[in-house]
Structure 1
Amino acid sequence: MNPKSIIISRTDAIGDVILTLPLAVFLKKKWPDCRIIFLGRNYTKDIAEICPAVDSFISWDDISGNPVEALKQQSADAIIHVFPRKEIAKAARKAGIPLRIGTSHRTYNWFTCNRKISFSRRKSDLHEAQLNFVLLKGFGITHVPAIDDLKSMQLMNPKSELRADLNGLIAKNKFNLILHPGSRGSAREWGIDRFAELIKLLPADKFKIFLTGTEKEGAMFRNELAEPFPQVTDLSGKLSLSELIVFIGHCNGLLAASTGPLHIAAALGIHAIGLYPPIRPMHPGRWAPIGKNTKVFVADKKCSECRKTAQCACLREISANEVAGYLMSL
């Protein structure tokens, strides 16, 4: 098979989309003349469009009113349902896309997909980025790249310049560190008090610290993390996603839970330091950032006690001293 165009469908969050980009890079390398189309949401457009392997982006938010016609216009030879969604699976079938690949564990895929791949993400020991490659069995491809091979891929190439006012904030002779305390509920969090402890431990003459997040998140942490510390600049609620991406690329490191900004930092090649619980499937074995300069902190224990609680005691066990020691070694 030599497809001329392939749609990769992933309509969930930023981190999920970033961990799907290796699939686009692999397909573009295998079939250089193939047009890679990414089907996502408006809020992930800025991510997909700076991936060198993605030729065009279509938003489910824009086409959901008439998806069949929109998909027909793409003249795609195949669609890979990386994130299963019944409406998209039905639309792809009605649009007459010849090869429709999805997991066999969704009942509706038995009526909408003609290549059904059997595997369980929840039970697998593979990383999320590797699990996406299992769907390529629909093309007869059984190779799943090693994590080290994924780390060498160029996933992002931002073209925008950094805003002049933001560029002026970057310290030339210090380690510019972004702290992203929140997760918008998508991950277990370390806690504002732990971030405050960390800020106190990092020498102000060696570290310039920035806080990022939504305005709502900023309202929750800025009184404790920004106002008491002159070396901290609060950027929460002040950056669009595209501006955040470029700003991250100009900093030296980013510390966060398992969130989109952590995966952005990893993809851009800066030091991406992740804080993870040991709970499956939230653990770093499944969701660690993919990049050349990544580090994860996770309690060395098996835990299921925190599964049904909002707070994770195991994540809280990661000490600010431990994280500060690592940062000062960079």
Structure 2
Amino acid sequence: MKNILISRTDNLGDVVLTFPLAAYLKQYFPGSRILFLGKKYTADLIKACNSIDEFISKESLLDDPSLLKSKNIEAVIFVYPDKDVAKICKQSRIPVRIGTSHRIFHWLYANKKVSFSRKKSDLHEAQLNFKLLEGLGITVIPSIETLGTLLNVSPKSEIPEAVKSELYSAKKKIILHPKSKGSAREWPLQNYFSLAKRLISAGYTPVISGTKEEGQKMRNEQEDFFSLPEMIDLTGKVSLGELISVISKADGLIACSTGPLHIASALGIPTIGFYPSIKPMHAGRWKPIGKYSTVLSLDKYCVDCAKGGNCICIESLKTEQVFEILEGWNK
């Protein structure tokens, strides 16, 4: 096969955990081109993966369903089930169309259906992606350690000059990414603030990342959150591509289960991630797979998380516990 399309039209962390699949296919089929179909907002991240030759946005495809016909695609893997994309791929007469048999619309639009359940599996998300390769006759499921070597990400964007001057003058930069747009169980903002003060007293520079809306939400929750003079506020000031470049220059990143956590891990930056213990949100399914990643999670069933409320287990993780792990990065 020379032209293979991977379709994953969900979010940043999910996309990062699909990069090892792209790298593996590129190795398995020497000389092949790997195309990646994703949401427009994930473009800078997908272009940062050196295993991917071309990015196609879902939005462009919906505007022009004939877009795929000129790509000579021989196989498409529906890593994330997307009815609109699957329908267009069949209309484009892509010869091999692989999807999970658990989606009814794949019985209409996929001609290679693989039976497995992500929710019930004990495999990591990055490993589960490889189950779909059964549609190509490939049955390998790499170890987490092997997958970590297949991320192959490097920054492609320049850091804005105003941000660059502020960052380059800072010492031992630790990125704190407190929010998750509601997609994960979050460590309390007060804990991040306490950690920021602890970092400053130890000679580090805390860098706060997030969207403009998340920055405002932090201010609403805690008025003095950005009051520390040594703290660098990047909320709403950089694009995704620029954030990837900023992360690549950091000495560490701390967050809950979010895209920036996975991006930092893929770049080889030390990370600490907060995870609930309940399935399917637990670290066994969603932890970052880079070599220098640490997960903090209590080994217990969390009733509050199961109900969808605040996770007392994550809230109980202490600032000093996080700081001790962080200090160990320098040893």
TM range (shorter): over 0.9
Distance 1:44 1:200 in 2: 33
Distance 2:194 2:72 in 1: 55
Please say if residues 151 and 291 of structure 1, whose CA atoms lie closer than 8 Å, have aligned partners that are also in contact.
yes
The 1:209–1:171 alpha-carbon spacing in structure 2 relative to 1, beyond 3 Å, is farther
Number of the residue aligned with 2:97: 100
Shift of 1:155: 2.4
Number of the residue aligned with 1:17: 15
Number of the residue aligned with 2:328: 329
Number of the residue aligned with 2:163: 166
- Does structure 1 residue 85 correspond to structure 2 residue 85? no
Number of the residue aligned with 1:35: 33
Shift of 1:72: 1.4
What is the TM-score with the length of structure 1 in the denominator?
0.95
Number of the residue aligned with 1:258: 257
Q: Secondary structure at the match of 2:63?
A: coil
What is the TM-score with the length of structure 2 in the denominator?
0.95
- Does structure 1 residue 318 correspond to structure 2 residue 317? yes
Deviations 1:270-312 (A, max 9, x none): 1121011111110110000111110111112122442223311
Number of the residue aligned with 1:226: 226
Distance 1:183 1:88 in 2: 26
Number of the residue aligned with 2:176: 179
Shift of 1:203: 4.2
Distance 1:190 1:224 in 2: 18
Distance 2:23 2:105 in 1: 29
Please say if residues 269 and 292 of structure 1, whose CA atoms lie closer than 8 Å, have aligned partners that are also in contact.
yes
Letter of the structure 1 residue corresponding to residue 195 of structure 2:
L
Number of the residue aligned with 1:268: 267
Number of the residue aligned with 1:129: 126
The 1:319–1:34 alpha-carbon spacing in structure 2 relative to 1, beyond 3 Å, is same
Please say if residues 177 and 210 of structure 2, whose CA atoms lie closer than 8 Å, have aligned partners that are also in contact.
yes
Shift of 1:168: 2.3
**Structure 1: unaligned runs, 5 residues or longer:** none
Number of the residue aligned with 1:110: 107
Distance 1:167 1:202 in 2: 21
Number of the residue aligned with 1:283: 282
Number of the residue aligned with 1:54: 52
Distance 1:103 1:178 in 2: 37
Please say if residues 172 and 251 of structure 2, whose CA atoms lie closer than 8 Å, have aligned partners that are also in contact.
yes
Distance 1:294 1:283 in 2: 15
Distance 1:235 1:173 in 2: 13
Letter of the structure 2 residue corresponding to residue 28 of structure 1:
K
Deviations 1:80-130 (A, max 9, x none): 000001111111111110000000001111121111000000011111011
Distance 1:191 1:208 in 2: 20
Deviations 1:7-42 (A, max 9, x none): 000000011111111100000111121111100011
Please say if residues 196 and 224 of structure 1, whose CA atoms lie closer than 8 Å, have aligned partners that are also in contact.
no
Deviations 1:144-167 (A, max 9, x none): 110010112242122333333333
**Structure 2: unaligned runs, 5 residues or longer:** none
Letter of the structure 2 residue corresponding to residue 224 of structure 1:
D
Q: Secondary structure at the match of 1:25?
A: helix
Please say if residues 171 and 208 of structure 1, whose CA atoms lie closer than 8 Å, have aligned partners that are also in contact.
no
Letter of the structure 2 residue corresponding to residue 79 of structure 1:
V
Distance 1:248 1:13 in 2: 18
Number of the residue aligned with 1:236: 235
Shift of 1:234: 0.9
Distance 2:304 2:182 in 1: 19
Number of the residue aligned with 1:44: 42
- Does structure 1 residue 73 correspond to structure 2 residue 81? no
Please say if residues 72 and 95 of structure 1, whose CA atoms lie closer than 8 Å, have aligned partners that are also in contact.
yes
